[in-house]
C-alpha cells in the first residue's frame, strides 16, 4: 500500500492506536490552530511534526483530501486468523470476509461498519480485492486502526476452514429474504460481502 494516512480523523486514530508513525506533515497555517490536538498527540509520543507548505502537500497523489495533515506510516500490520480467534476464544466471533470488493471507498466503509457493529475482524483476500491504501484508511474514519485485519488466500478454502471450526456462513445480498437484524448472531458467524457487480464468487 502507499504508506500514508491522511485526514484529521484517520491520523488522530492512528496516533491513539499506537501505530508506528515516522513523521507527520502539517499545513503551516494549521500547526497552532485547527490541528493543534494532533500536533500535541504526536509530540507527546516523540513523533516528528513537520510544518509543510500547502502547495507541497498538494503534490502528493493521495486520491483523497488530506485536510492539512499527512502521516508517513509503516505498512498495515495484518494479523493471523488463528491469533485473532485465540484472542477472542471466550467470545462469540463475528467475522466479515470480503470477496472481490474493488472500490477502496467501499472497502473503507466495510471496515468502518464492521468496527461499529463490534465485529471481531475483517478478512481480506490477498488478490482480487481493493488495496488497503490511503483512500481505504480515510474512508474508514480511523476504524482501520481499531479492528484487526486478516489477509487470507483462497476465499472458498477460508470459508471451508471456518465451517470446520463451527462457523455459520452468511452472504450479503441486496435482495436477501431477511436482514442482518433478523439473523441469529449468538453463534460464530462469518458474513461474506461480494463484488460490487458480480456479487459473491
**Which CATH number do you get for residue 23?**
3.30.1330.30
Residue with the larger pLDDT of the pair 59 and 103: 103
Asked if the model's pLDDT at residue 63 lies above 50, the reply is yes
Residues 140 and 188 in one domain: yes
Element (H, E) at 58: none
**Range(s) of the domain holding residue 120:** 81-194
With H, G, I as helix, E, B as strand and everything else as coil, classify residue 192: strand
pLDDT at 1: 42
Query: Does 59 map to a domain?
Result: yes
Confidence band (pLDDT; 50, 70, 90) for 182?
A: confident
pLDDT at 93: 94
pLDDT at 17: 84
Residue with the larger pLDDT of the pair 104 and 2: 104
| Mean local confidence (pLDDT), 122-138 | 87
Residues 188 and 153 in one domain: yes
Residues 45 and 19 in one domain: yes
Residues 92 and 54 in one domain: no
* Residue 115 CB-half CA count within 13 A: 18
Residues 108 and 182 in one domain: yes
Query: Does 201 map to a domain?
Result: no
Provide the number of structural domains found in the chain: 2
Grid cell locating 195: 463484488
Asked if the model's pLDDT at residue 2 lies above 60, the reply is no
For the CA atoms of 134, 138, 141, 142, the dihedral, rounded to the nearest 10 degrees, stands at: 30
Query: Does 199 map to a domain?
Result: no
Grid cell locating 18: 499506537
pLDDT at 32: 64
Of 20, 50, 73, which residue sits at a domain end? 73
Query: Does 93 map to a domain?
Result: yes
Residues 172 and 96 in one domain: yes
Mean pLDDT for the chain overall: 88
pLDDT at 132: 85
Residues 19 and 92 in one domain: no
Give 3-state DSSP helix, strand, coil % of the chain, rounded to 5: 35, 25, 40
Residues 45 and 61 in one domain: yes
Give the best-scoring range by mean pLDDT among 24-28, 104-108, 136-140, 183-187: 104-108
Of 47, 73, 99, which residue sits at a domain end? 73
Residues 133 and 36 in one domain: no
Amino acid at each position: 500500500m502507499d504508506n500514508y494516512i491522511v485526514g484529521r480523523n484517520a491520523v488522530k486514530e492512528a496516533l491513539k492506536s499506537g501505530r508506528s508513525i515516522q513523521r507527520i506533515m502539517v499545513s503551516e497555517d494549521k500547526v497552532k490552530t485547527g490541528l493543534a490536538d494532533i500536533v500535541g498527540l504526536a509530540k507527546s509520543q516523540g513523533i516528528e511534526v513537520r510544518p509543510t507548505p500547502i502547495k507541497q502537500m498538494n503534490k502528493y497523489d493521495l486520491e483523497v483530501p488530506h485536510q492539512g495533515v499527512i502521516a508517513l506510516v509503516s505498512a498495515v500490520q495484518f494479523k493471523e486468523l488463528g491469533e485473532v480467534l485465540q484472542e477472542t476464544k471466550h467470545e462469540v466471533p463475528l467475522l466479515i470476509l470480503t470477496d472481490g470488493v474493488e472500490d477502496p471507498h467501499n472497502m473503507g466503509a466495510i471496515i468502518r461498519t464492521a468496527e461499529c457493529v463490534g465485529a471481531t475482524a475483517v478478512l481480506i483476500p490477498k488478490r482480487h480485492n481493493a488495496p488497503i491504501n490511503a483512500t481505504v484508511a480515510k474512508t474508514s474514519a480511523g476504524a482501520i486502526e481499531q479492528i484487526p485485519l486478516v489477509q487470507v488466500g483462497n476465499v472458498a478454502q477460508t470459508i471451508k476452514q471456518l465451517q470446520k471450526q463451527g462457523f455459520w456462513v452468511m452472504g450479503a445480498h441486496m435482495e436477501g429474504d431477511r436482514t442482518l437484524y433478523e439473523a441469529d448472531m449468538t453463534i460464530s458467524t462469518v458474513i461474506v460481502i461480494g463484488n460490487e457487480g458480480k456479487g459473491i464468487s
